[in-house]
Chains A and B, each alone.
Chain A
Amino acid sequence: MSTLAAESGNPLLPPLGEIIIGLIAFAVVMLVFFRFIAPRFEQVFRARREAIEGGIERAEAMQAEARAALEQYRAQLAEARTEAAQIRDQARAEGQQILAELRAQAQEESARIVARGEEQLAANRQSVVNELRGQIGALAVDLAGRVVGESLEDDARRRGTVDRFLDQLDGMAPGAPGDGRTGSTVFVPGGDR
């Protein structure tokens, strides 16, 4: 065949054998490229792309996480601040309330103490007045009996009797000064009956 081609001399008329050889050679090349070389290269390209994209994705995820954490901290901080302010306000309000309550209680107490003192004073006075009233009555009767029973001819006697009475009176009143006049003035309220 090759001799035939050589004889024909036309390079554009190839022998069939060469065409078949060419087909086989190219088929082998295609087979290896499709079955082995191309898939391997694609695998490498994919792995590389994934490695790059994976790295970027990981970095982005970490950034997002950090941002979220920061946001959270900020929110928590703000929350804590408002809470502290609330607690402070509440404490202040409570303190004022407590103060007002205490003040009111103290006033009430003092008012009550004063009232009780006054009451007691009044009661004491009443009892003293009652006692005195009884004693004055008895004394008056006693004195009157003495006055009526004795002869009252001379002034000296009369004066002596009265003085004795007043002395008795003075001696009865504890802590009272020895002055007879002062003692007589004490009994002025007795004259209102």
Chain B
Amino acid sequence: MIHVRGLTRSFGAVEAVRGVDIDVSKGEIVGFVGPNGAGKTTTLRMLTTLLRPTSGTATVADCDLFTDPAGVRRRIGYVAQGGTVGPFSGVGEELVLQARLYGLSRSEARERVTRLLEELDLAGGEKRTAGQLSGGQKRRVDIAMGLLHRPELLFLDEPTTGLDPQSRTNLWGHVRRLRAESGMTVFLTTHYLEEADALCDRILIIDDGTIVASGTPAELKAAHDAGTLDEVFLAVTGRELREGAAA
């Protein structure tokens, strides 16, 4: 679903991502873990066509990232870190707009939005503004934004940052169910290691612009003789990944 070789991105003299290789198979939930500033978001924004890589090759959802970015956009969903709706807009209106930009007709869009809101425990919330929603509800609206066109591949950038533990667990449930029901591939970033452990089939640890370890949570723990992913992280980077560093 994702095949990336030697992906780099520089901002002026700063090399934010320094030669990343990523392979993700269909139906996997893959966690992209690393401290703030490690290059997670930059990588994600490259894979979702929002940033042009400085060098490398990449196929995302069977489309070449460089020659067919429109094809990539049609097949993927992307939920950015910072949210998707302003505080004053009705979320139904915004969701219908987004669906129509993905080519759904007006009636299809309305139907799809109603359905998705039900699935995400937000039934009947169309008229509410983002300002009237809780953090967890808002995040689920963001996720709905990425699901309108039934993408094969969903990118989630720090989906649970700033959520209380209960909302986080609830969101994990939704992600698992999506994969189970539609076989969707999910690529998400997080800096909660126990989240990656609980939710992801496979984990890529990125530090300072390069991937320093990858494998299933069990493989990683075994390889580093560690009981938790926190210990794995400490072993491969020599540092602690402080939890909730940027809420």
A complexed with B: no
